Structure 1
Amino acid sequence: MQDYEHIQLSEEEVAEALRQARKAKHFREEALRYQESLNRKPEYPKFTARELYQLAMQQARQQIPVFQVDEGNRAIVRLLALYFAGDPAFEEGDYRLNKGILLLGPVGCGKTSLMRAFALNSHNAFAVVSCRRVSDDYSSHGAEALKAYSTLKPAYPHQYFGQTGIGYCFDDLGTESSRKHYGNEMNVMADIILNRYEQLSLKGKTHFTANLDADQIGEQYGSRVRSRLREMCNVIAFEGGAADRRG
């Protein structure tokens, strides 16, 4: 290494050299911190059941300004808040967090509104899609539609609290009709239910609302599908006399 000790620097030159060295070190450290920030995984909030309840009620009132929690839906709202927050208290009954939700009740009692209100959450987000739309999509796109609804729905992590794939809530099960695609007639929802049942990773990512009772589900889809639904889902039901909130 060349020895430069014989070179004499003025005080001004020494000061400038030190300034340039400090400047270079500053920018190296800034670049290192920036690179570390890029590599660091973002931290997303995790809602408690109470926090999720408050968020869901805000969502519900955006859909229905007069929405309210009362004796007709209070117990169900509490269960949904516990479930979609991943709270172990949900399992104090006969329910399981690793299963989906099958929400049953009469027309107009608020099933769809509640599921839409809880769809955006930090534990188990999902998209709500009507069964009629699913059947129509099969008529238009065939096997491509079946595949799409038989897997997770791709999602942007920054919109869904870090989740890259979200589940589905199939709304109004039983209101769809069998559909044809190039002459191939199919009970579309029955096929999707069986497809999702066969994938363990989708067990807690598959939800439904329906006006049907267990016997009617069996009549429309067969005993095999009825059995699979009970294995896949926590059945939560409104009382038979629940008020029509569409008033």
Structure 2
Amino acid sequence: MDNPSKIIEDDVEYSLGDFDGTSVLYDFDKILIYLNAKGKLLFGNHFRIYDEDKEIIRKLCHYFIKDLENCKKDDIDPEKGILLSGPVGCGKTALMTLLRHIEPTPRPYEIIACRNIVFSFNHLGFKTIEDYGNTKSFCFDDLGIESPGRFYGKDLNVMGELLLSRYDLYLQSKRRIKTHATTNFSADEMEEFYGNRVRSRMRELFNLIAFDTKAGDKRK
């Protein structure tokens, strides 16, 4: 029987906890060791887990490993997606890329930059909304900094429209198909950019997990 508490990377075996034959008892310290190693493989040897980020990572881990008891303590709804907000360069995209690898389900979400979705809309029109409003799980990266879309002379707030489509999909799907996103924006800035209707849908689509507004730029 496969042991879901073990992951092999570059011929090195990492443990995420203990497997009793039916379920995994996760160990956060072991998960951090794995995430640090996987981060170096994905992003280079300069990557490391910062102490000040561990509380954010802990909440994200509780969500992705479906630790319902701790999700409740964190006020996180496991049925919703994650909206990870924070200043430029604080590591949002890296974390959402990394945490796909500890998900116990075999269908991780695809990460796509919002600006690329708008570029696609500018060429293909509403087919783009249909393509990303489908039954796959996505993480929309850098939500809120994209330009308006334009197709055949008509402007559209593409991501706002797409979030409305994803909300409808979320309501219609029995298994609550997830939408995740990263953003540099605050909730108020989101409302100003997308409008109150989209913002209210976002409250129902996402759990908001936020870095401190003073979090440093790790890319420097």
Contact preservation (8 Å) 1:127, 1:168: yes
Q: 1:131 maps to which residue?
A: 114
Offset at residue 118 of structure 1 (A): 1.3
Offset at residue 44 of structure 1 (A): 8.7
Q: 1:233 maps to which residue?
A: 206
C-alpha offsets along residues 180-237 of structure 1, whole Å, 9 cap, x if unaligned? 1222321100011000111223855101100000110011000111111111111000
- Higher fraction of helix: 1
Alpha-carbon distance between aligned partners in 2 of 1:203 and 1:57, rounded to the nearest angstrom = 30
Contact preservation (8 Å) 1:171, 1:209: yes
Secondary structure class of the residue paired with 2:51: coil
Does 2:75 align with 1:105?
Answer: no
Alpha-carbon distance between aligned partners in 1 of 2:154 and 2:64, rounded to the nearest angstrom = 38
Q: 1:149 maps to which residue?
A: 132
Contact preservation (8 Å) 1:129, 1:169: yes
- 1:61 is matched with which residue: 35, 40, 43? 40
Secondary structure class of the residue paired with 1:119: helix
- Higher fraction of strand: 2
Alpha carbon RMSD of aligned pairs, Å?
Answer: 2.2
Alpha-carbon distance between aligned partners in 2 of 1:194 and 1:99, rounded to the nearest angstrom = 15
Offset at residue 58 of structure 1 (A): 3.0
Alpha-carbon distance between aligned partners in 1 of 2:32 and 2:127, rounded to the nearest angstrom = 36
- 2:164 is matched with which residue: 191, 194, 216? 194
Larger Rg belongs to: 1
Alpha-carbon distance between aligned partners in 2 of 1:55 and 1:207, rounded to the nearest angstrom = 22
Contact preservation (8 Å) 2:59, 2:74: no
Q: 1:83 maps to which residue?
A: 63
Offset at residue 52 of structure 1 (A): 5.4
Contact preservation (8 Å) 1:169, 1:208: yes
Aligned partner letter, 2:39: A
Aligned partner letter, 1:245: K
Q: 2:140 maps to which residue?
A: 170
Please report the TM-score for the alignment, with normalisation by the length of structure 2: 0.79
Alpha-carbon distance between aligned partners in 1 of 2:44 and 2:211, rounded to the nearest angstrom = 19
Alpha-carbon distance between aligned partners in 2 of 1:187 and 1:168, rounded to the nearest angstrom = 18
Please report the TM-score for the alignment, with normalisation by the length of structure 1: 0.71
Contact preservation (8 Å) 1:57, 1:117: no
Runs of 4+ in 1 over 6 A off after TM superposition: none
Alpha-carbon distance between aligned partners in 2 of 1:113 and 1:61, rounded to the nearest angstrom = 11
Alpha-carbon distance between aligned partners in 1 of 2:3 and 2:79, rounded to the nearest angstrom = 22
For the structure 1 residues 64 and 234, does the alpha-carbon distance in structure 2 shift closer, same or farther, using more than 3 Å as the test? Answer: farther
Secondary structure class of the residue paired with 1:103: strand
Alpha-carbon distance between aligned partners in 2 of 1:246 and 1:131, rounded to the nearest angstrom = 20
Does 2:154 align with 1:184?
Answer: yes
Identity %: 37
Does 2:203 align with 1:221?
Answer: no
**Which is worse superposed, 236-245 or 54-63?**
54-63
Offset at residue 69 of structure 1 (A): 2.1
Contact preservation (8 Å) 2:122, 2:149: yes
- 2:183 is matched with which residue: 193, 210, 234? 210
Aligned partner letter, 1:226: R
Q: Which runs of 5+ in 2 are unaligned?
A: 6-15, 17-23
